[in-house]
Structure 1
Amino acid sequence: MKIQMNDILALCFLMMLSIEIAGGVKCLGCTDVGPDNKCKRKSYECTIGAWRFCFMQKFSKSNKIVYIKRGCTSFCKTETRIRSRYRLKTWCCYFDYCNSLNVWY
């Protein structure tokens, strides 16, 4: 049985549509996550639908974490960016509370 690219694309579209219909994926939101993995300021919950992501970002300078934030976004790329002494690590995911992991390490 030969699977064509159109079949794969249709399947991916249906999977993303099912996320939207099922009420979406829940993510945690916080602009300042502390070492205990709790939000230092007001936390919130956001819901993503098709073609959206939960994310976490860790910003560090000279190998020390400056801040960690998490939330929902429409564009996300899991990557590490390095600029002189600064490092920004971004994680993207799309299942319930996938951005709740403690990344203080």
Structure 2
Amino acid sequence: MCDRFCKECSNLLYPKEDDNTLFLACKNCEHIQEAKSHRLYVKNFRPKHTSIELYAKDLAQDPTLPSIRIDCKNCGFNKGLYFQSRGGEDDVALNIYYLCCRCHHLWT
């Protein structure tokens, strides 16, 4: 059984500190055990799937991206931005993306 659960009543153990030592304590049966690690919680901030299309509207407002005179295939506007990025998680090659400043259409 995982050491995050009480061995006596199977309830979740909560962190408790006593004399600069970290313990895991059960609030139900008062079982206490010393924690094996000082890490209480891990949060992974890496998104599982990132898509450039999700950020296209925000990218169009980024003043640090270089602009280019290029005709948008979607609305015909002649100003766009360009940047270099990978297509997805599994894509190894870098692509040059163009982004329309008016309609936020994205193409390579």
Do both share a fold (TM > 0.5)? no
Relative contact order (C-alpha < 8 Å, sep 6+): which is higher?
1
Rg: which structure is higher? Answer: 2
TM range (shorter): under 0.3
TM-score for the superposition, normalised by structure 1: 0.21
* Structure with the larger strand share: 1
Tell me the TM-score normalized by structure 2.
0.21
